[in-house]
Structure formats: C-alpha cells, structure tokens
Amino acid sequence: MIVMSGFELAKAALGAAFFVALLSWASPVIADPALDRALVAAAERDDAIAVRKLLDQGANADARDAHRRTALLVATHANRVEVARALIAAGADVNAKDDIDDSPYLYAGAEGRDEILKMTLAHGADLKSVNRYGGTALIPAAHHGHPETVRILLATAIDKDHVNNLGWTALLEAVILGDGGRAHTDIVRQLVAAGANVDIADREGATPLARARQRGFAAIAKILEGAGAH
C-alpha cells in the first residue's frame, strides 16, 4: 500500500480541484429552449413559484417570446409584481427591449406599474433609455395621467425637458394629450415644481401655456402662468 505524505495529499487535492474547474469552464451550460418557453408562460400566468423553480433548473432569466419580450417584460405588461421580483432577483435585465423598443423599465413607467418601476430603478434602470417615439419613461407617464409614476420618476435624475421624436416634452404631452382633469393637472404641477422648462414650444411654436389656453384647461393655465410661462 502506498502511503502519501501530507504535502502529496494536498497537491493531489489541488490538482483534482483544478481539473474539475477546467471541465466546468470547458463545458458551459447549454440553454434549454423548453425551460425558457416555460418561464415566459409562467410569468404570463403569474406563477411566481413556477418561475423560481424554472430559474433554479437553469432557465434563462432573460428568456424571450416570439416578439422578443423577456419574461420580465411579459410580467410587467400584466403587472405581475411577485414574478417580476423573482426575475429581477435572478438578474433579469430591466432594460432589455422587445421588437417595438419597450423594456420592463420603460413599460412600467409608461403604464403606471409603480411597484415594478421602483424595482427596475433599484436594479439599474437606464434613465436615458427611450421608447419607439424617442421618449423617456417620464413622457408617456405624463401623457397617460399617472401622477404617482411621475412623482417616482421625478425623484430620479431623469431629464425633465427631454424632447421626443414628436417634438414634445413631458409637460407638452400632459397638456396636448391629457384631458385637463385632476390627474393631468397634478402632473403639470409636479413638473413645474420640479423645474421643468415651461417655455419649450412644440414644432408649431406653441408653448404649454398656449396649448392649455387653446384647450380650455384653466387650472393648468393658471399653474403655468404662476410659473412665469409665456
């Protein structure tokens, strides 16, 4: 029987560990399309337990469907908060875009998915990312009348005066595409208080104040006049 010294045992153990590491490096995990499809389906039906199990089994946290929507974007569409939490915890990309340039972050901002929005902001949301209209998340949030979403976004370093491909800022969209009601009036008030430029005009040369007067939005016009708008 061969008796190995302590040094020889340690050397053998080190060699075995190196061999295992080499095998691991040389044999990357092979993606399983079936697992990825199952993950997207589980996200869509709001099955957080299944999502976690599939991730543990090796499903790609950024698995996509036929429209290049990630499982996280699918969850965001349906406001599946716990599913989104599980995917983000597994490293899902909050900025991954689909074939129409929506991402979990952008969609959450546009559609008022506030819990998911806060999670994306805490996990690397790109504030400069833009949608297919060239707008930041703040612009459609203002357009769609989501005051709390606007409040969340204004607490970040997002550009309050970004101009989209239509030539509109968040303030202009709140007036031009809003209904002049309580939600859009609140949004205009928030934007003004946050220091948004009240005199950036649209491509026709009309300012937010001019558009508010044109549409008969007296409460919004009053806010803008109080901010010294022209």
Whether residue 79 is contained in a domain is answered as no
Alpha carbon distance 167, 154 (integer Å): 20
Q: Amino acid letter at 212?
A: A
pLDDT given for residue 152 in this prediction: 98
Strand, coil or helix: 224: helix
Whether residue 230 is contained in a domain is answered as yes
What CATH number has the domain bearing residue 226?
1.25.40.20
Alpha carbon distance 170, 88 (integer Å): 28
pLDDT given for residue 14 in this prediction: 46
Whether residue 178 is contained in a domain is answered as yes
Whether residue 58 is contained in a domain is answered as no
Kindly report the pTM of this predicted structure. 0.86
What b-and-e string marks burial along 109-127, b requiring 16 or more CB atoms within 10 Å of the CB? bbbbbbebbebbbebebeb
pLDDT given for residue 8 in this prediction: 54
Cβ atoms 95, 103 nearer than 8 A:
yes
pLDDT given for residue 95 in this prediction: 98
C-alpha 155: how far from chain center: 15
Domain count, the chain: 1
Whether residue 191 is contained in a domain is answered as yes
Whether residue 173 is contained in a domain is answered as yes
DSSP-assigned letters across all residues of 26-82: HSPPPP-HHHHHHHHHHHHTT-HHHHHHHHHTT--TT-B-TT--BHHHHHHHTT-HH
pLDDT given for residue 12 in this prediction: 47
**From first to last of its 230 residues, what are the pLDDT tens digits of the chain?**
444 455 454 454 445 444 444 444 443 445 799 999 999 999 999 999 999 999 999 999 999 999 999 999 999 999 999 999 999 999 999 999 999 999 999 999 999 999 999 999 999 999 999 999 999 999 999 999 999 999 999 999 999 999 999 999 999 999 999 999 999 999 999 999 999 999 999 999 999 999 999 999 999 999 999 999 99
Whether residue 109 is contained in a domain is answered as no
Whether residue 105 is contained in a domain is answered as no
Domain span holding position 160: 147-230
DSSP-assigned letters across all residues of 142-165: HHTT-HHHHHHHHTTT--TT---T
Strand, coil or helix: 8: helix
